[in-house]
Structure 1
Amino acid sequence: MSVMREVPFPSRESSELPMNIWIDDADSAIDVIDALALSPFATGAQPWSRLANLERVRPDAPLSPADGRLLRTARVEDGSESRLIAGEGWTLRVVRHRNRTATVSVTAVDEELAKSVLAQSIEGAEEAMPEVDHVEMGFWWRGMHGGTRSEKPITAQPWDEINKNYSAKVRPALDRLMSITPDDVNGRLILLHGEPGTGKTTLLRTLAKQWHDWCQVDCVLDPERLFNEPGYLMEVAVGYDSDEDTQRWRLLVLEDCDELISSGAKAQAGQGLSRLLNLTDGLLGQGRDVLVAITTNEDLARLHPAVVRPGRCLAQVEVGPLSKEEAVAWLGSANGVSPSGATLAQLYALRAGREFTPQPGDESTGLYL
C-alpha cells in the first residue's frame, strides 16, 4: 500500500517549491519525521538550516528551546528516539541514540533564528570531556554522501608518563617530535615504522595530547579510499569549518599503510602514492596547514625512495622493541623476557600473566599499542 500526501506547509512566497512525499508500508514513523522535518526547507518556507552532532549528551538534556511544541515522537527498539518540535518560524528535528550521541537539526525563516534555536537546543547538553588522560580526536570516513567526520574523546597519556615504554636509542627523536611547535615544522610527513606491537599507535595518541594547543589530530579510517577518490581527498585536505578565531594545524593519521608507501607502491596502489606526496609537499598541500602521519610495519629499506627522501619527513622514527635490560626494568622481573628484549605488546601480556610468543612472520595488528 502506498499513499501520496502533500506536505501541509503553506506557501509564503511565489519562489517556494511544492513538495509531495510518498508513504508506504516500508516506511517507519522515523521516516515520516525525517520527511516532515525536511519539508519546510525543501519548499522554501524555512530556507535556513543548521545542524549539530553531539557526543556525551546528558540524559536530562531537553535538546529544545523551552517554547517548542512537540509534534511527533518515534522510538525504535535499539533505544534511538526521534522528535519533531516546532516554534514560531522554525522546525527542529532531534535524534538521540542509546550511545548518548545525538543529531540536532533546525530549519528557520532566517539565518539568525536558525542559529538562535540551535544554540538554545544544544546549550549545556554535552557533559564535559574528562580532562585526565583524554583528548578529542577526529575520525574521517567516506559515507554515502561524501566525507564524514566525527569527533570523539580518546585515552591519551602525556609523553613524560609513557616515555619509558620506548627504547633509549629512539627516545631522543621522540622527545623532539613531542616538543615540536608550528615554528618548528619543516617537512609535512611523520613516518613511524617498526614491527607490530612496539607502540606506534600509542605514540600517535600521545602526540594528539602533546600538540593539542596548536594541532587537531584526525584519523582517516579508510586511507585506501582517501587516495583513490580525488573528491574525498579534497574534502579531507580542505578540512572543516571551525568557530575558532585562529585555525589550528591538522595532522591526518593513516595507520598500517604498507601498500601505499612500499617500494612497489606505484604499481600496487596506482595514483595513491602520487596523491600522498602531493598532499605533503605538492600543489595540493600548498596553503594548507596539514601534516600526515603514517604507521607501517615495513622495514625502512623496503619503503619507496620518494617517501623517505631528505626534506620530506618532519620525523622518521623506527620504533623498535626494548632491550632485555630495558624490558626487565619496565616489567620489574626477568620472567618471560627474551634475551633479545621485548616489544611493548609482549610486556603488557607478560604483566597480565599471559604468555605471548610471536610467530615468525607474524603480520598481526600488534595489539594496537
Structure 2
Amino acid sequence: MIREVPFPSPDSPDLPMRIWIDDADSAIDVIDALALSPFATGVQPWSRQAHLERVRPDAALAPADGRLVRAAHVDDGSESRLICGDGWTLRVVRHRNRTATVSVSAVTEELARSVLKQSTDGAEEPKPDTDHVDMGFWWRGSHGGIRSEKPITAQPWAQISGNYSAGVRRSLDELMTITPADVSGRLILLHGPPGTGKTTLLRSLAKQWQDWCQVDCVLDPERLFDESGYLMEVAVGYDSDGDHDDKQRWRLLVLEDCDELISAAAKSQAGQGLSRLLNLTDGLLGQGRDVLVAITTNEDLARLHPAVVRPGRCLAQLEVGPLTREEAVRWLGTAEGVGPGGATLAELYAARSGRALTASAKDESTGLYL
C-alpha cells in the first residue's frame, strides 16, 4: 500500500511537504524525510554535516537545549534521532560499529556551524596509540563514492626494515624519507610474489608520510577507472573541515593487485582504464590535486605496459622479493625449515608460529596480505 502523507516542516506549518510511504519504508526513512523538510522548504536553508569515528557510548551528539522529536531503533543496533531547537533541526544516526553521522539545518550558516560544533565536540574517543595511523577506504555506493576513515596498525619503518631483503632495502629507505619537495613522479609500483610484504610496506609508508600525505585505499579499483564520475570524486578527495585545517595534504591512493590494469595488454583488456590511470598520475587531473598512486602487482616488471614504467612517471619501481637464505635464517633464528632459495615474509611468520605453508597456499595469488 502506498500513501501520500502531507506534513509540515518542524518549524513552519505554512510550508508543507508531501512524502509517499509504502510497506518498504521504515521509521528511519520517515525521520530522514522529516529532517530534510526544513531545508527543502527553505525554512532552514543552511546545512552542515559531520561523520564521526569511534563515538563515545555516552556522547549525547546534540546540544543540551534540544528537544527530541522522533527516535527509531533497528535490530542491527543502529539508531536514528530527530532533535529540534530554536531555528535548527538535527538528525543523528548512530551505528553499531560506533560510527555516526550528524546533520543539521538552520536558519543561518553561523547557527548551523554552532549546533554542529556543540553536537560533536568531545564526542569521539582519542585516537589509538602510536602503532596506528588513519587510513581512508573508498568504495562505490549506490549514490556515488563513499569514504570511511579507520585506524590501522602500522609499525615505523625502522622496526620492520629487517623484513625486506638488503637488495631492496636501500631503495625503501629512500622512499620512506621522501618529502613533497622530493616528489619527481606520481606512481609507485610494488611488484613481487605473494606474501613478500607489499601490504605491510604500504601500511608503514602511511605512517612515515602521515605528516604530509593522506593514504586512501580504493577497495574497487576496477570500478574507479571504469567510471569517470567515481574517479573524479576520489581524485578530488576528502580533506579535513576547512574551518579547522587550511593545509591541503598530498594524497596517496593505494590500488592492490591491479595486474590487469597495468599489464602489457591493459589497453585491450581494460578499455580506458589505463588511459585514466596515466591521466591521474601524469596528466591534468593528477597535477591539479597532488595525487600519488601506489599499485601492488604480482606481475614481473618486464610484463608491465611500457607507458606505465617509462622514465619520469614512477616515483619508485620496487621489486619486493623473498629474503635470501642467510637473511631468512637470521630473521627466524634457526635454519630449520628454510630452503636454499630463502623464504617469503609470510612463510617466515608461519614458521615462527609453528605452522608450515602448504604447496597450494604458496600458489595462491591473494598476496597473503602481508
Structure 2 residue matching 1:86: 3-state secondary structure: strand
Identity across matched positions, percent:
80
Q: What letter corresponds to residue 2 of structure 2 in structure 1?
A: S
What SS class does the counterpart of residue 98 from structure 2 fall into?
coil
The amino acid of 1:256's aligned partner reads: D
* Separation (CA, whole Å) in 2 of partners of 1:186 and 1:343: 31
**Paired letter, 1:228:** D
Moved more, 136-145 or 185-194: 136-145
Tell me by how many angstroms 1:11 deviates: 8.1
How far the C-alpha of 1:246 sits from its partner, in A, is 1.4
Q: Aligned residue for 2:5?
A: 5
Give TM-score, length-normalised by structure 2. 0.96
User: 2:49 is paired with a residue of what secondary structure?
Assistant: strand
TM-score using structure 1 length: 0.96
Which residues in structure 2 correspond to 1:111-126 (within 5 Å)? 111-126=109-124
In the alignment, the residues of structure 2 paired with residue 17 and residue 233 of structure 1 have an alpha-carbon distance, to the nearest angstrom, of: 39
Give the counterpart of 1:109 among 101, 107, 110.
107
Q: Which runs of 4+ in 1 moved over 4 A?
A: 10-13
Instruction: Look up the match of 2:96.
Output: 98
Where 1:310 maps in the other structure, the secondary structure is coil
In structure 2, what is the Cα distance between the partners aligned to 1:9 and 1:148? 29
Cross-structure match for 2:321: 320
Aligned counterparts of 1:19 and 1:364: Cα–Cα separation in 2: 54
The residue aligned with 1:276 is 277
CA distance 1:345–1:48, shift in 2 (3 Å)? same
2: CA distance, partners of 1:150 / 1:11? 33
Give the conservation status (yes or no) of the 8 Å contact 1:345–1:366: no
Q: Does the 8 Å contact 2:10/2:34 carry over to 1?
A: no
C-alpha deviation, 1:241, in angstroms: 4.0
Q: Is the 8 A contact 1:218 1:252 kept in 2?
A: yes
Counterpart Cα distance in 2 of 1:17 and 1:229: 39
In structure 2, give the amino acid aligned to 1:153: P
Gap regions ≥5 residues in structure 1: none
Counterpart residue number, 2:49: 51
Q: For the aligned residues, what is the CA RMSD?
A: 1.7
Match of 2:144 among 143, 146, 164: 146
Q: Is the 8 A contact 2:8 2:17 kept in 1?
A: no
CA gap 1:138/1:8 in 2 versus in 1, 3 angstroms: same
1:191 aligned counterpart, secondary structure: strand
- CA 270–24 in structure 1, closer or farther in 2 if over 3 Å, else same: closer
Q: Which runs of no fewer than 5 residues in structure 2 stay unpaired?
A: none
Q: Which residue of 2 aligns with 1:171?
A: 169
Equivalent position amino acid for 2:69 in 1 = L
- The number of aligned residues is 367
CA deviation after TM superposition for structure 1 residue 182, in Å: 0.6
1:241-260 → structure 2 map (5 Å cutoff): 241-242=239-240, 243=242, 244-260=245-261
Aligned 8 A contact 1:216 1:250 in 2: yes
Structure 1 284/266 Cα, relative in aligned 2: closer, same or farther at 3 Å? same
